[in-house]
Amino acid sequence: MSRPPAGAPWPTAATRLVVLLGWPARHSLSPQLHNAAFAEHGLDLVYLAAPTPPGSVAGVVTALGELGVVGANVTVPHKEVVVDSCAHLTEEAELIGAVNTLAWTTDGVLGENTDASGLKAALTAEVAVADGDRYVVLGTGGAARAAVVAIGRLGGELTVVGRRRHAAEELAGLGGRAGAVRVAAVDVADDAAVTEAVGGARIVMNATPLGMDGERLPEPFHHLTAGQVAYDLVYDPPLTPFLASARQAGVPGHHGLGMLVAQAAVSYRMWTGIEAPMGVLSAVAAAALSERARHA
């Protein structure tokens, strides 16, 4: 799997492929991260985005297997539907009910979910989390599913805030099965309950796409105070209205780039059997995000 010597033509007919399946997929930083890591280790692999329309993912996964690809990442809106294309699921993917990483093995397609482990690693590194920390998570989609599992693995207290009470309760239960203590669910329309939940949390997390286009979160999320931490899974733009409000209040805030890098490292190890070059991944991610912000 080694690349040709320096100066030799590359890629070659022997170069193997890793892809990103999503719709859209052109905005992702994953190709830059993984191609830099492949180059660092001299691996004859190339990572490309493969925009895959809804309804097409099963056929694309089958075709990729015929082409002999090494692996794939899976992003919205395919993380749940691609489960049906997997011959085997890891314990984490089965618990979350979604897959973001595929590996083609001799036993068929293996589905993994690296989002929860990536977020757990990022929270541990960036926020100095402790057992029993109180978390509020806004959202009930795929990102929120990974978030509640990560919080469960960290032994946190969890409240899920969502537009659909039933979905919020289901996610709170998922967090409980992953290890969270004292789980609860709150309807986002209940202003008093949301205010109480947010005010009592140490780590307040946005696990929705809100903020990517300048949207504000429900108002209590914009009134954090000393002792709290704002954590936004959105990383582009790096300063959402949620994080801007936190900064104005002197509250530390973190965006989702750390999670992206950490989950990419888990995928990388799965495909190559090699520990990812974390310094390279982090530097490339930060530089790419800075360049985007400069041209925004």
Q: Is 79 a catalytic residue?
A: yes
Domains of the chain: 16-113+259-295 (3.40.50.10860), 116-255 (3.40.50.720)
Sign of the C-alpha dihedral, residues 66, 70, 71, 72? negative
Which of 3, 34, 78, 79 is labelled catalytic?
79
Q: What global pTM score does this model have?
A: 0.90
Question: Which pLDDT score, from 0 to 100, does residue 7 have?
Answer: 81
d(CA 247, CA 23): 32
Section 120-144 average pLDDT: 94
Residue 151's nearest CA partner among 181, 127, 126, 125 is 181
Digit-coded pLDDT (tens) for 193-233: 999 999 999 999 999 999 999 999 999 999 999 999 999 99
pLDDT at 76 over 90: no
pLDDT at 296 over 70: no
d(CA 181, CA 56): 39
